[in-house]
Amino acid sequence: MIYEFEGKTEREAIEEAASQLGLETDEFDVEIMESQSGSLFKKGKVRIRVHTHGQDEGDIAVQVQAPRQEMVPAASAARETAEPGEPLVPNDEFELKMIEWVKTVVEKMGYPAKVSVLFREEKKIGLKIETDNTAMIIGKKGKNIDALQLLANVYAGRQGREDVKIILDSENYRIRREESLVRIAYESAEQVRKTGRSVLLEPMNPFERRIIHTTLNDIVDIETKSEGDGLYKQVRVMFRGRK
């Protein structure tokens, strides 16, 4: 299903899309359709196209005309994060089941592992996988851990917890990957600015592509768009001239 949203910034449009659709921001794919920088006399505008999967076909357009008035998160949305060497204690049967499920699957893959709660926040739980075979668990470009995370979320849904997003990590891969993507985004933008030619990045999942889009969104002479089909698409970084 395809939706279109508009906001003064890419982040605002994405947040509105997540709110309107009732999804987490990493559960849908975003394509930047239009991006106009603001000026003293004119507000900026970003128009995005959101692709969701597993729903009935149809189109709907929603526009964001003003910023949200209530931006203070509720107390329930506070994030609990484990201290180094001191994982969070599972606080219910669901978390215990998720820990046991992930541990069992990884061990059936042939890699003994310890699984613990890394963080928890409203509608999201992070699980940490500790193993001597981290490289195999993560896989090339994180594809193994992404696949395992997808299965973990399917299992969570079968436990009646479709409302909770499960995030799997190992040796801080998620943080390291995000830092790497931000660096790639800036390096690609600089290359495009010097040569005037676009750069097509490696295939990425929706969350990774969103990091590229968001990182470069405020650079006035650079624009980005996703290309390809399926879950793993490529981001093209393009030069649009100085304004």
Name the amino acid, one letter, at 40.
L
DSSP-assigned beta bridge partners for residue 60? 3
pLDDT digits (tens, 9 = 90+) for 19-43: 777 676 666 777 777 666 554 444 5
Half-sphere exposure of residue 103: CA atoms within 13 angstroms, side-chain side: 12
pLDDT tier at 141 (50, 70, 90 boundaries)?
Answer: confident
pLDDT digits (tens, 9 = 90+) for 70-106: 333 333 456 788 777 677 898 899 999 999 999 999 9
Q: Find how far residue 220's CA is from the centre of its chain.
A: 23
Predicted confidence at residue 206, as pLDDT, reads 86
pLDDT tier at 64 (50, 70, 90 boundaries)?
Answer: very low
Q: What is the spatial distance between Cα 141 and Cα 138, in angstroms, rounded to a whole number?
A: 8
Q: Kindly give, in sequence order, each residue whose CB lies less than 8 Å from that of residue 19, ignoring residues fewer than 6 positions away.
A: none
